[in-house]
Structure formats: C-alpha cells, structure tokens
Copies of this chain bind each other. A is one copy, B any other.
Amino acid sequence: MKKTARSRIIGKSRSVRPPIVRSRRTRCLLTHTVLERLMHYYICLSKYDPNIEWISSPHLAVQFRVDDTQVRKDLAVIGVKGRPNAGFRRSQILERIREFLGLGRSLKAVVVGVGRLGGALVAYRDFRELGLEIAGLFDNDPRKIGGSIAGLTILSTDGMKSFIRQRKIRIAILACPVFVAQILAHELVEAGIRAIWNFSPTTLQVPSGVFVRNEHISVGIGEIAYHLLPF
C-alpha cells in the first residue's frame, strides 16, 4: 500500500505495533515485550516468600522460561543493579517496576458491562495491590442496575459520562457485549477516558491518543489448540 491519503488518516499515528512510549522519569523506552515481561516478573515476585530477598537471573530464567541474559537486560532497562554471585534484590525489582510503570499512584477506573466477566474483574483482588481502583460500575440492563458487587452499586450507563468527567477518571474496563462495545467506547472517549481495557471480542476504533489494550481471552484457545495438534 502506498502512503495514500486514506491510509494516513486513520490510526497509524500512535500505538501502532510496538507501542513505545517515553517514560517521564528517564529517557528510557519500554517496548511492549519488555513491559509484558516486567509485569510477569512483578506479579509473580510479589507473591514470593517474603524471606527470599536475593534472586539470581538464572533462577528467574528457569521460573519464567526465558533466557537469563534476557532477565538481566530487562532489569538493566529499569535500572536495577545486581550483585555478582548473589543476584538481584527482590524488593528493589518490585520497587523499580512499580515506579517505572506508574503502578504506585492510584489509578481510578470504571467497569462498563457487569456480566459474569465484568463482575469477576470487579472482585479481582490483585487489581487493588497494583493500584487499580475501581470507582464505578455501569450497565444498561435494568435488572442489574441498583445491584451491587464488592461494595459498589451498579449504575445506569445514562449517567456514565458525567460520572467519569466529574471524577476525572482516565481508565475504562469494557466488558460488554460486542454489539454495544463501539458505541460505549465512543462515549467513554468523549467523557475523557484515555485508556480502554477491552474485554469484548471486537476491535475498537478510537481517536489517536487513546490507548486500547485488547484482552481477547479466546486467543488462548487458538494457541492451545495449535500446540495440541499432534494429539
């Protein structure tokens, strides 16, 4: 495809394939792959026995099924220094990842679509540890509105925009049926949402500047089926 007018207009400008963004703190760039691995480390290391403090890259390599050089490179990127013959400090790894990714400061989010999946996400414990704070629940099913999950009341999507604007919420977790996803995404963006965590199995079209992370769970089935082909 030549760079025709049409192709230049839509998308492409931001968050294309390897979504690279400059960190505020340093000049360093974290690529998508590094980001994913760092989170993987974080999630698992934060659940380690608190007595274990020094961890070597070969140990992490086995644990996470990556190369040990990879681990060292990843940690080097976020400025974690190791000690020869000892490894890295677990607490420092966690701290630096938190800092670098901005997990510390509380991230307010709304959940849009409170079906089974949405409900599970609202109640998911690990989110709070990571700084994600769910501030509002929305659904357009009259039978659900007024109900509550994890201490939060489910509200009508009618008041969603003003709710988000008033509280300056930047993150939306979208767990609604496919056929309303795009419409809701549009509303969310209008209300000032800057990141959509999309659990509905569609692609959303959003203006550049809005970050979308697709969490298409079914993707896993593909990989599993493929790896099971010989059986």
> Is there a chain B Cβ closer than 8 Å to A135's Cβ?
no
Which of A88-96, A120-128, A137-145, A158-166 lies at the interface? A120-128
Q: What is the distance, in angstroms, from A87's C-beta to the closest C-beta of chain B?
A: 12
Q: State whether A178 and B47 are in contact (beta carbons under 8 Å apart), knowing that A214-B40, A218-B126 are contacts in the complex.
A: yes
Q: A117–B122 Cα gap in the complex (Å)?
A: 10
Which residues of chain B have C-beta atoms less than 8 A from A205's C-beta?
63
> Is there a chain B Cβ closer than 8 Å to A167's Cβ?
no
Q: A195–B40 Cα gap in the complex (Å)?
A: 20
B222 touches A197 (CB 8 A): no
Which residues of chain B have C-beta atoms less than 8 A from A32's C-beta?
223
Q: What is the distance, in angstroms, from A19's C-beta to the closest C-beta of chain B?
A: 7
B19 touches A201 (CB 8 A): no
> Is there a chain B Cβ closer than 8 Å to A54's Cβ?
no
Range class of the A interface residue count = 35 or more
B44 touches A201 (CB 8 A): yes
Which residues of chain B have C-beta atoms less than 8 A from A102's C-beta?
225-226, 228-229
A116 touches B107 (CB 8 A): no
Q: A218–B24 Cα gap in the complex (Å)?
A: 22
Which residues of chain B have C-beta atoms less than 8 A from A10's C-beta?
62
The 4 lowest CB-CB distance pairs between A and B, nearest first, are A39-B222, A116-B120, A39-B219, A211-B227
A103-B222, A132-B221 known, 19 other contacts, Cβ within 8 Å? A1-B68, A1-B69, A6-B58, A16-B67, A24-B229, A36-B222, A40-B214, A44-B201, A47-B201, A63-B205, A101-B225, A101-B226, A103-B225, A126-B217, A130-B225, A170-B228, A211-B224, A211-B228, A215-B220
